[in-house]
C-alpha cells in the first residue's frame, strides 16, 4: 500500500491546493508514482473526464502535475452548491440533492465510497498526497468530518498544515489551530509550511523559533509569494474543453503548463525541507 501525507490549511485559500500540486510534482520528479486525493470537494466548477465523469479541478491539475491522467477515484465526492443545499456528485455521477443541514446524515453512507476509492489508488501508487478542505478546526463540524482530520484518522495519515502569511496573523492561526485540535489530532501534525511570504526569511526566524517552541511542531519551510499560472478553480482544463486548438497550439499549451509546474516545483523544493517531508512519509 502507498505511503500517505495530508496537506491541511489554517483557512480556505491558505495554499493547500498549490502545496499539494507542488508536492505531487516534486515527488514525481524524484522517481515515485504519486497520486492526489481529496475525499470531498465543494465547487460549481468541475473537470470532465474522457468518460464523462465529474471531479474536482484541483485534483485534475494535481494529477497532471504528477504526470498521470485525472481519475475520479482522486475525488470521490463533489458537492455543487445550490440555493437550498447541494447536489452530490458521487464517483463522478449525480447521486442526489440534499439540503444544507442534512449532509451530516450521509457521513456513514459516504465513508465506504471514500475508502474504496482511496484504497484502490493506494494499491496502484507509491505515495498519495491528500488535500484537506477549509480549516480542520471548525469544531462544530468535527463530529461528521470526512475531509480533514476525520479522513486523516481513517487512512492513518500524517498531516502538514499550511498557513498564509500574506494576510497576516499566520503565527496565531497555526498556534490556534493546534490549540483547537484534540490531543490525538495534535499527534498527527508533523510540520508547518508558511506560505505566500514577501520579504527576507531571516526576519521571520525569531517567530519561527517561538512557534516551534509553543507547538512542538517543526516549520518545514517558508514559501515565497508565487505567481504561477496554475488556477485550481477557473481551470485551464475547462478552457481546453471549450476552445478548439490546432495540434501545434495543443503542444504549445502543454509545454507552457509543464513550465508552470516546473517553476512551482522548483520554488517549493528550494523552500521546503524535503528530507523532513520524506521522513514524515517514512521513506
Q: Is residue 78 part of a domain?
A: no
Calculate mean pLDDT across residues 254-280.
95
Cα gap 42→224, rounded to integer Å: 27
Share of residues in the chain with pLDDT > 90 (%): 77
Q: Is residue 124 part of a domain?
A: yes
Q: How many CB atoms lie within 10 A of CB 47?
A: 25
Q: What pLDDT does 131 receive?
A: 98
Q: Output 102-105 pairs: Cβ under 8 A, ≥24 positions apart.
A: 103/79, 103/144, 104/143, 104/144
The pLDDT of residue 103 is 59
In this structure, is residue 238 part of a structural domain? yes
Q: Is a pLDDT exceeding 80 seen at residue 59?
A: yes
* pTM for the model: 0.93
- Structural domain including 262 reads 3-39+106-280
Beta bridge partners of 128: 4, 35
Cell of 259: 513550465
Which CATH number do you get for residue 193? 3.40.50.300
185 dihedral zone (left: phi>0; alpha: psi -120 to 50; beta): alpha
State how far the Cα of 257 lies from the Cα of 64, in Å rounded to an integer: 9
CA distance 8 to 5: 10
User: What total number of domains does the chain contain?
Assistant: 1
Alpha carbons 30 and 261: distance in angstroms, whole number = 14
Look at residue 240 and tell me whether its pLDDT is greater than 50. Answer: no
Instruction: Give the span between the Cα atoms of 38 and 41, in whole angstroms.
Output: 7
Task: Decide which of 171 and 229 is more confident.
Answer: 171
E strand segments, the chain:
3-9, 34-37, 40-42, 47-48, 54-55, 77-81, 85-90, 93-99, 127-131, 159-164, 189-197, 219-224
100 in any annotated domain: no
- Say yes or no to pLDDT of 236 above 50: no
Q: What average pLDDT does this structure show over 200-205?
A: 93
13 is a domain residue: yes
* 80-130 pLDDT, tens digit each: 988 878 899 999 999 988 876 655 677 889 999 999 999 999 999 999 999
pLDDT band at 234 (very low <50, low <70, confident <90, very high): very low
In this prediction, residue 194 carries a pLDDT of 98
pLDDT band at 143 (very low <50, low <70, confident <90, very high): confident
Q: Which of 226, 212, 218, 219 has its CA nearest to residue 264?
A: 226
Residue 244 lies in a domain: yes
Do the domain assignments include residue 25?
A: yes
Domain annotation covers residue 65:
no
Amino acid at each position: 500500500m502507498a505511503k500517505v501525507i495530508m496537506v491541511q490549511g489554517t483557512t480556505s485559500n491558505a495554499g493547500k491546493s498549490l502545496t499539494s500540486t507542488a508536492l505531487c510534482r516534486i515527488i514525481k520528479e524524484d522517481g515515485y508514482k504519486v497520486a492526489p486525493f481529496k475525499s470531498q470537494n465543494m465547487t460549481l466548477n468541475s473537470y470532465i473526464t474522457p468518460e464523462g465523469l465529474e471531479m474536482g479541478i484541483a485534483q485534475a491539475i494535481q494529477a497532471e502535475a504528477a504526470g498521470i491522467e485525472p481519475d475520479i477515484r482522486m475525488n470521490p465526492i463533489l458537492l455543487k452548491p445550490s440555493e437550498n443545499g447541494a447536489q452530490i456528485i458521487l464517483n463522478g455521477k449525480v447521486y442526489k440533492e440534499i439540503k444544507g443541514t442534512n449532509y451530516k446524515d450521509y457521513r456513514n453512507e459516504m465513508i465506504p465510497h471514500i475508502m474504496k476509492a482511496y484504497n484502490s489508488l493506494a494499491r496502484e501508487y507509491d505515495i498519495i498526497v491528500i488535500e484537506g478542505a477549509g480549516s480542520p478546526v471548525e469544531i462544530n463540524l468535527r463530529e461528521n468530518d470526512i475531509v480533514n482530520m476525520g479522513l486523516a484518522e481513517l487512512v492513518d495519515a500524517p498531516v502538514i498544515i499550511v498557513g498564509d502569511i500574506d494576510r497576516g496573523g499566520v503565527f496565531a492561526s497555526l498556534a490556534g489551530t493546534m490549540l483547537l485540535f484534540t490531543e490525538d489530532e495534535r499527534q498527527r501534525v508533523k510540520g508547518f509550511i508558511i506560505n505566500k511570504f514577501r520579504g527576507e526569511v531571516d526576519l521571520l526566524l525569531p517567530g519561527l523559533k517561538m512557534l516551534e517552541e509553543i507547538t512542538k511542531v517543526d516549520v518545514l519551510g517558508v514559501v515565497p509569494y508565487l505567481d504561477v499560472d496554475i488556477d485550481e478553480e477557473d481551470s485551464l482544463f475547462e478552457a481546453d474543453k471549450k476552445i478548439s486548438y490546432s495540434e501545434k497550439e495543443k503542444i504549445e499549451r502543454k509545454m507552457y503548463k509543464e513550465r508552470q509546474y516546473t517553476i512551482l516545483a522548483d520554488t517549493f523544493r528550494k523552500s521546503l525541507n524535503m528530507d523532513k517531508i520524506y521522513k514524515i512519509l517514512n521513506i
